[in-house]
Structure 1
Amino acid sequence: MSESLNIADVFFAAIGRGDSAAVEALLLQQPGLIDTRNVQNVGAVLWALYHERAELAQSLAARRGRLDLAEQVALGHEAEAREEFARDPVLLQGYSDDGFTLLGLAVFFRQGALACWMIAQGAAVNAAATNAMRVAPIHAAVARSDGETLLALLLAGADPDLAQTQGIRPLHDAALGGKHAMAGLLLLHGARVDLRDARGRTAAMMAEEAGHAMLARCLRRFEGGFSLKNA
């Protein structure tokens, strides 16, 4: 059992660093590794995607054969995912085994068409991950600078001030990344500039700390609770 665990650790480490040759060698040695999960309860395909090893993820998916719904969503296997959702619409509110919402995975992995379809079908736009990150689809959209999906989420009722871990709001993330378009869209839909994270920082303070002086100046103009939504 100890040897099996050690091989699994080596396998996931190889995936993380994108070492396709090592991954292939380990799978030849122990084919069952393709269906194992690591200590975070993540399988090989999603682990590759989390480490931005898209080509390796596709290779692992092909070897694995039948994918679970989280893997289908993350890889953008839209036809298969839609079929699963049509068979059981409750799955639209589902989570991956490591606690992320399926809608959040679609957004984070830039599967915009599938994400917008899921939103239209009633996927919960404000549901947060059950893991320590507490991220929701709106945080993923801002992280990926995906304005189209962000707009779809906001129009469907996503909370522009929804907090994730450490009290980080979508506007905070936009400020830290110097994402003017994301910040503007959030402000237009009522995001508050006076909210602070767990360290007491406002969005303007974060933009300033990150060296985004112009965005910081713009955000300071709206401090004090003013919102473009009510302008």
Structure 2
Amino acid sequence: MGTQIGRIEQIFTDFLFTCFRKSVKIRSIRPICVPILIILNSYKKMNQSKQVFIKAIQNGEIEKVRNLSKKSPDLVNEKTEEGISVLLLAMYYRKDDIVNVLLSHKTKFDLFEAAAAGRLDFFIKKIETEKEEVNQFSVDGFTPLGLACFFGKKEMVKYALEKNANPNLSSRNDFKVAPLHSAVAANEIEIVKLLLKNGANVNAQQMNGVTALHSAAHIGSLEIVKLLLKNGAEKNAKTSEGKTPLAFAEENGFLKIVKILKE
């Protein structure tokens, strides 16, 4: 919104300058100028409130978020300058209490918000009624399936896969994470099972050549390590820095995983 306001202000300034150069009387353009100024002022106030709201979310100021949400409920549907919804922003920042406040005021969700928040009712409506594409990407490059995996929404993952969500579609950003990487990073073994059952590539690489097995070894998830190995994960896969899953397990002192990876 801030960028749009700036453009409108520039157009308005250019208009006034042109009128001044042509010696147009103020009285004649007042009916045009006054409504524009009122609208601009209103938008500026809205933009200021939005920026305060976003900053409060980032800083974890739950009381401020709660008060602003009550005063201006539409703020819960706002987006950052990058186009990321404030709900997803709060979820990315892992501000669970703030997420709950936002959810208590939200009455509509886009496809990505629904996937991340586990709102299957809205997700089904988007896919089946509004015919949205299940394999589309968010403004920051993630798929609905990837978000559902990362935030541990098993039923959402199950439904998305039933609707032909691609389990091997990596994010369109620098992370290059596939849904399997997200599920492992979140330590969601049941979702990992679902993805593998539906054809997820167990040896897919994300940024820096990291595989799901690297991630599982790094976080110390013994059961996921076993599951990945059972499904063909490469023990000796190397990152761009030459590290194997074993190296990650050794660095973090996960001795049971070290033992399995040495077998």
Q: TM-score, normalised by structure 1?
A: 0.85
Match 2:162 to one of 113, 116, 120: 120
Cα separation, 2, equivalents of 1:216 and 1:152? 26
Cα 1:69/1:190, change in 2 over 3 Å: same
- Does residue 1:144 correspond to 2:186, yes or no? yes
Cα drift, residue 85 of structure 1: 1.4
Higher helix share: 2
Where does residue 36 of structure 2 map in the other structure?
none
Residue aligning to 2:138: 96
Share of identical aligned residues, percent?
29
**Ranges in structure 1 where 5+ consecutive residues have no aligned partner:** 222-231
In 2 relative to 1, CA 30–148 (structure 1 residues): closer, same or farther, beyond 3 Å? closer
Residue pair 1:101, 1:136 contacting (<8 A) in 2 also: no
In structure 1, which of residues 55, 67, 81 is the aligned counterpart of residue 109 of structure 2? Answer: 67
After TM superposition, the score normalised by the length of structure 2 is 0.76
Is the 8 Å Cα contact of residues 95 and 102 (structure 1) preserved in structure 2? yes
1:182 aligns to what?
A: 224
Kindly provide the CA deviation profile for residues 39-69 of structure 1, in whole angstroms up to 9, marking residues without a partner as x.
Answer: 4431111111112223322322343422111
1:190–1:89 CA distance, 2 compared to 1 (3 A): farther
Contact kept in structure 2, 1:154 and 1:160, CA below 8 Å: yes
* Matched residue type, 1:19: E
Structure-to-structure mapping, 1:1-231, within 5 angstroms? 1=2, 8-26=50-68, 33-87=75-129, 91-221=133-263
Q: Which has the higher contact order (CA 8 A, sep 6+)?
A: 1
2:152, 2:191 within 8 Å by CA — same for their partners in 1?
Answer: no
Q: Partners of 1:105 and 1:146 in 2: how far apart?
A: 13
The whole-number CA distance in structure 2 between the counterparts of 1:60 and 1:66 is: 11
Indicate the residue corresponding to 1:224 in structure 2: none
Q: What do the CA deviations read for 1:183-227 (whole angstroms, capped 9, x no partner)? A: 111111111011111211000011101111221232122xxxxxx
Deviation string 1:146-183 (CA, Å, 9 cap, x unpaired) is 22211111111101111111211100000111111101
Gaps of 5+ in 2: 7-43
- SS state at 1:91 partner: coil
Residue by residue, what CA displacement relative to the aligned partner does 1:65-94 show, whole Å, maximum 9, x if unpaired? 221111111111112211221235652212
Structure 1 residues 214 and 28: alpha-carbon distance in aligned structure 2, compared to 1, 3 A threshold: closer
State whether residues 202 and 233 of structure 2, in contact with CA within 8 Å, keep that contact through their aligned partners in structure 1: yes
